Structure 1
Amino acid sequence: MADPRGFLKHRERELPKSRPVPVRLLDWKYVKDELAKDPEALNRQAGRCMDCG
């Protein structure tokens, strides 16, 4: 079960990094890198959710 006080431990929201402009000019993909590439980051962000668990 998820920690109901997880939002107190993980206060900072982690945002995905922006892709470099020269790379973005070559395609129509999303500007931000995917946060899903880092499963640990997803778990930390899910721990911030007060409704989950």
Structure 2
Amino acid sequence: MWLDPANAKVITQHIATVLATAAPEHTARFKENAEAVSRSLDQLDNLLALLQR
């Protein structure tokens, strides 16, 4: 379950939100990094879908 890319995206967003609350001066960086991870997870999810065909 936690290995599912869709779940990992939710977890990534939550981590970015928590970090931004703890260190608001770095909010933009946390958001950018979370978006980059999200894009990578989308690519992984697409690859996994192709492999399951």
Greater share of residues in helix: 2
Would you say same fold, with TM above 0.5? no
Structure whose CA Rg is larger: 1
**Higher RCO (CA 8 Å, separation ≥ 6 residues):** 1
TM-score norm. by structure 2 comes to 0.31
TM-score relative to the length of structure 1 = 0.31
